[in-house]
Chain A
Amino acid sequence: MPYTTGMDPKGPIPVSLFFTCLADAFSPGVCTATVEVLERFGATVRVPLSQTCCGQPAFNSGNRKEARAMARKFLLSFPDDGFIVTPSGSCAAMVKHGYPVLFRDEPRMLARARAIGERIFELSQFLVDVLGVTDPKSDFSGKVTYHDSCHLRRGLGVIEAPRKLLRAVPGIEFVEMEESDRCCGFGGVFSLKYPQISCKMTERKVERILATGASYVTSGDLGCLLNIGGLISRIGYPVKTIHLAEILAGKTAGKEDAG
């Protein structure tokens, strides 16, 4: 479903990058790749440098006071117009669905949260649904399988966009894994509170990944990839994690920092 913006489709596409604290600290390559892809399709990318974390870890663990402080900062870090694009389904879902809960008793912040929520998109969703991209123009090559991040799939309802893009890359042999929509076991603080259960879930996910024989597993959320990658690197399995943005940017080598 194309998104109507009221903007001139041939005019500039102003995008503010919401790079996410996780990618900033652990996988800056994902942010760089996101910028590259956005610019490739005509976006004018701006990076508000006062942004930090959307507050999801605090919100998901029930610490709303702290989450609200971070959310407030987030809302003030982004401009009043243009799109906000992020390489994370989870963080976009937080702003879209979490913020209205956090600010349900503060009408002014609630209005701002809603307005920003309207303009925020996960990368593949933005490319396919807003810009109508059918060919990502990536030179990536290899056998790739895709893990549905829970919050991208069920939180934002983005299922087909990343698959369409992956299938459109000529060098990619795309294989679906079984149970691609099953949680990888990360769950943020869940993985610290109940690490054994978390690991059990991750093991099942990795089994499914290995069964495809793919050389790469990709996803729209770095959290999942760091979790899955953590197990893969511990055992030394012959498969690499790589963020969707990096595939779209065309970095076949597979970046060190992608896990």
Chain B
Amino acid sequence: MELNANAFGRNARKALLDKTLQEALGRTTGRFQAHRDAAVAALPEFEATRERASRIKGDVLDHLDTYLARFIEEAEKRGTIVHVARDAAQAREIAARIAWEEGITLAVKSKSMASEEVSFNEALQGAGVTVVESDLGEFIIQLAGEAPSHIIAPAVHKTREEISLLFERHLGEPRTDSIPELVGMARKHLRAKFLSAGMGVSGGNFLVADTGSVVLVTNEGNGRMGTVLPRVHLAVVGIEKVIPRMADLPTFLRLLPRSASGQVISSYVSIVTGTRRAGDPEGPERMHLLLLDCGRSAILEGKYREILKCIRCAACLNSCPVYQSVGGHAYGWVYSGPIGAVLTPLLVGLPEAAALPDASTLCGACADVCPVKIPLPDFLLELRSDAREQGLKTPGEIAAMKGYAGVMKRAGLLEAIERIAGVLGQFFTKGKGISGLPYPFSGWTERRDFPAPAAEPFRKQWKIKRGVTR
């Protein structure tokens, strides 16, 4: 997917003016959040489960190579052909080669955020393969030629009117505003694709090391169909998705749907363990697994390793007032919201995405809901500090901070400035807030007043009143 993260400010302003987007955002994030809160409240052991999940993931990260080796061994035993891609270019190359060797011309794909990281669809299309997104949301945005704007609800920014228009234009369907009818149209169109596709492509929510299984958590039947109907199944999954044992899966299944949409369990949980065996009624003849490193090993080595605990539930997006205000596209890459603000700079390099860690008030709502307890605000702060150290801050900001620190290091100097400001403040505002300030405060005063400084700062009042000097 094309990277445009540093345009966050501009994209956000555009999003704020987009009425339909604003309505859609308000509706969806609010609903997800309310359902999540209710589901969590109804599970007394939520906190303990969260604790356990975070611990399991921590253990995985401490021994990722061991667990991955075990997973690959078990998966290969069951007929899965495992590939590992170091970076996006290699991932594209491997995907194209698999398609070519398997003689694929049509592939149906269920939702995979990781595949977006490497521009997977473009790679297959370059190899002459038609890729059809089969998740309803992904299907819609594929027709629109857009990118997902939410991890679990990729088309949240689209209204039903817009969707009907797309279906009319691309599928020749009549206009309707009935959601069941729209779903029916997509289903009819996709059913034909499922039956003729040579390959099903999926993501993967978990890789189970002791059984070599790929676990898919979905709400639509497309994931199930895409992994059993076509002759070949290709799963594209990040290396950090491994969990040690099948016995650990329930812990995560308890957290993921609840945190994502407030469901106790998703409509489908598919555990795909290798190819079809003798006597199996269904399943692919060939199974490929494309494991993506794509920057993950490097993250593992550094101070942000815990970000690899993420199970992509999107709870942090739904809880984030900044995400709620601007939606996912403003973040300019695959991942949005707090997880995107941290993960994008780590995966693509901070210089390419330095605008994102600033896109937060550090309110902490994300850390409150994260089911694997990732300290997202701490990471945002750390990234901002990295930006300074890597020379990514504007000279203006640095000069302002140096000036500020210079004043604050000397109480006497501060007092002198306060005295002047007090006089000026009173003079200009006649006891009211200030309504027009120059840059960088101009943004503030566009729609809000700035407080006028007090004529007599507290420090001075105290000295006079109590006659003390220290």
Contacts and interface: CB of A to CB of B under 8 A. Distances in A.
Nearest to B421: A25
A27 B386 CA distance: 34
A192 B440 contact: yes
Interface residues of A, number: 69
A24 B458 contact: yes
Interface string A1-34: 0000000000000000001010111111001100
A62 B381 contact: yes
A150 B363 contact: yes
A27 B454 contact: yes
Nearest to B17: A196
Given A58-B401, A194-B9, A234-B433, A150 B383 contact: no
Contacts of B432: 233
Interface residues of B, number: 70
A202 B446 CA distance: 13
A49 B411 contact: yes
A201 B444 CA distance: 13
B398 A187 contact: no
A181 B365 CA distance: 9
B315 to A, nearest CB: 15
A212 interface: no
Contact of A58 (B363, B404, B450, B469): B404
Given A73-B408, A230-B450, A233-B449, A187 B360 contact: yes
A183 B387 contact: no
A62 B361 contact: no
B448 A47 contact: no
9 contacts: A24-B457, A32-B461, A47-B466, A49-B469, A63-B385, A67-B405, A187-B360, A187-B361, A190-B360
Closest 7 A/B residue pairs (Cβ) = A62-B384, A187-B361, A195-B443, A230-B448, A66-B405, A183-B363, A28-B458
Given A52-B408, A259-B451, 16 more contacts: A32-B458, A49-B469, A52-B410, A55-B408, A61-B358, A64-B385, A150-B363, A185-B361, A187-B363, A193-B9, A193-B443, A197-B359, A199-B446, A199-B448, A230-B433, A230-B444
Interface of A: 19, 21, 23-28, 31-32, 47-53, 55, 57-67, 69-70, 73, 101, 150-151, 154-155, 181-183, 185-202, 204, 226-227, 229-231, 233-234, 256-257, 259
